[in-house]
């Protein structure tokens, strides 16, 4: 059966741990294993901008001995009248896996619905699961075992990073808190899925509006842009409601514990996070970005093995 990674809970807790273990081996030895030698080809398609995702997949696939085929989705026939399903059927005939950054999650689901090869979500409006795999690897490297740790996400609770941290975090057995203003809280269907998964792992989910209460005792603070790709012209006022959720020195101190700060990047310095925190000793953002490389290599190899 072909395996896809469309959202974080597509991996069971045991499978997620297996992928993270493999990711740690790639962190130590970047160039040793060549499981994609042949080479096997992977299409990596972007309908939105990218720096980290594009680079880490392209470099990672090459390091595995494979052939990365990077495509601007806006230049494909997909951008005209060709359907997602027909595009997917074509991709299955040429390459061994497809990595796609697009808009609505239902587009990702349509790609996977007829695909004979693994489909990997490289960011949709609803989820960013590859990022959260790298985040979990980063947290594990700093704090040891993930189960029982508390992670607080601050900012746009309705965006892809918040949703993925909820699903990926509880899959790892963590207690996930989301601190967000009214009208920017996680989608109820994502909270339901996260609570269902948490019931199996001992994790938990809480949505709060008070940022200080949300960070109390938190091992990890996570934030993200207040304006995600595609929302630039939606006319919603974000600066005012989001300001209390800025990750700054005062909020880091309010954790009362030694905490780790993550941000998937790109950062908007002075908005969701201040320079001193981003560049300070609690920040793990550069490791986090590097871990995209290791985590995605592990995910790709694991999905291809499972789908063989
Ligand atoms: N964090 C992340 O996905 O970065 P890019 O948008 O640069 O790929
Ligand atoms: N929430 C952000 C993440 C960027 C990596 C966005 O979707 O633009």
CB of 226 closer than 8 Å to CB of 155: yes
Report pLDDT for 3: 98
Query: ipTM, 2 decimals?
Result: 0.99
Report pLDDT for 32: 86
Residue 130 assigned as binding residue:
yes
Phi first, then psi: give them for residue 91, nearest 5 degrees: -60, -40
How far, in Å, CA of 262 to CA of 111, rounded?
30
pLDDT in tens, 242-266: 999 999 999 999 999 999 999 999 9
Question: Within the chain, which residues score under 50 in pLDDT?
Answer: none
Ligand nearest to the CA of 293: 1
Per annotation, catalytic residue among 238, 292, 294, 296: 292
Residue 101 assigned as binding residue:
yes
Per annotation, catalytic residue among 4, 101, 163, 263: 101
Phi first, then psi: give them for residue 12, nearest 5 degrees: -70, 165
Q: Which residue is closest in CA terms to ligand 1's atom 7?
A: 51
Q: Give how far the C-alpha of residue 113 lies from the chain's centroid of Cα atoms, to the nearest Å.
A: 21
Atom of ligand 1 nearest to the CA of 48: 6
Q: Return mean pLDDT, the chain.
A: 98
Q: Which residue is closest in CA terms to ligand 2's atom 8?
A: 228
Report pLDDT for 95: 98
How far, in Å, CA of 214 to CA of 153, rounded?
9
Report pLDDT for 33: 84
Q: Which residue is closest in CA terms to ligand 1's atom 6?
A: 50
- The residue assigned the tokens 């390459």 is 95
Which residues are near ligand 1 (CB < 6 Å)? 50-53, 123, 131, 264-265
pLDDT in tens, 11-47: 999 999 999 999 999 999 999 889 999 999 999 999 9
Mutational test site, ligand 1, from 53, 228, 293, max ligand atoms within 8 Å of CB: 53
How far, in Å, CA of 299 to CA of 131, rounded?
12
CB of 264 closer than 8 Å to CB of 239: no
Beta bridge partners of 178: 153, 207
Q: Is the Cβ atom of 126 under 6 angstroms away from ligand 2?
A: no
Residue 175 assigned as binding residue:
no
Which tokens hold the place of 33? 């294993």
Q: How far is the CA of 52 from the centre of ligand 1 (A)?
A: 5
Residue 160 assigned as binding residue:
yes
């Amino acid at each position: 059966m072909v395996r896809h990674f469309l959202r974080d809970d597509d991996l069971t807790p045991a499978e997620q741990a297996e992928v993270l273990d493999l990711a740690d081996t790639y962190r130590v030895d970047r160039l040793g294993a060549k499981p994609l030698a042949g080479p096997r080809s992977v299409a990596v398609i972007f309908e939105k901008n990218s720096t980290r995702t594009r680079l880490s997949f392209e470099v990672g696939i090459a390091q595995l001995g494979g052939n990365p085929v990077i495509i601007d989705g806006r230049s494909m026939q997909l951008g005209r009248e060709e359907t997602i399903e027909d595009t997917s059927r074509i991709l299955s005939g040429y390459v061994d896996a497809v990595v796609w950054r697009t808009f609505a999650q239902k587009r990702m689901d349509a790609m996977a619905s007829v695909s004979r090869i693994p489909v990997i979500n490289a960011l949709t409006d609803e989820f960013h699961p590859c990022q959260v795999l790298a985040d979990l690897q980063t947290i594990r490297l700093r704090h040891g075992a993930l189960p029982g740790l508390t992670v607080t996400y601050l900012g746009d609770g309705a965006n892809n990073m918040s949703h993925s941290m909820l699903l990926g975090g509880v899959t790892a057995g963590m207690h996930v808190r989301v601190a967000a203003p009214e009208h920017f809280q996680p989608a109820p269907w994502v909270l339901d899925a996260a609570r269902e998964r948490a019931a199996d792992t001992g994790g938990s989910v809480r949505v709060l509006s008070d940022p200080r209460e949300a960070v109390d005792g938190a091992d990890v603070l996570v934030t993200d842009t207040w304006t995600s790709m595609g929302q630039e012209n939606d006319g919603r006022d974000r600066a005012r409601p989001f300001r209390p959720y800025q990750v700054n020195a005062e909020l880091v101190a309010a954790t009362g514990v030694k905490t780790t700060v993550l941000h998937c990047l790109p950062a908007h310095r002075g908005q969701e996070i201040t320079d001193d925190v981003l560049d300070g000793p609690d920040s793990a953002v550069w490791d986090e970005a590097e871990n995209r490389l290791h985590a995605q290599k592990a995910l790709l190899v694991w999905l291809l093995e499972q789908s063989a």
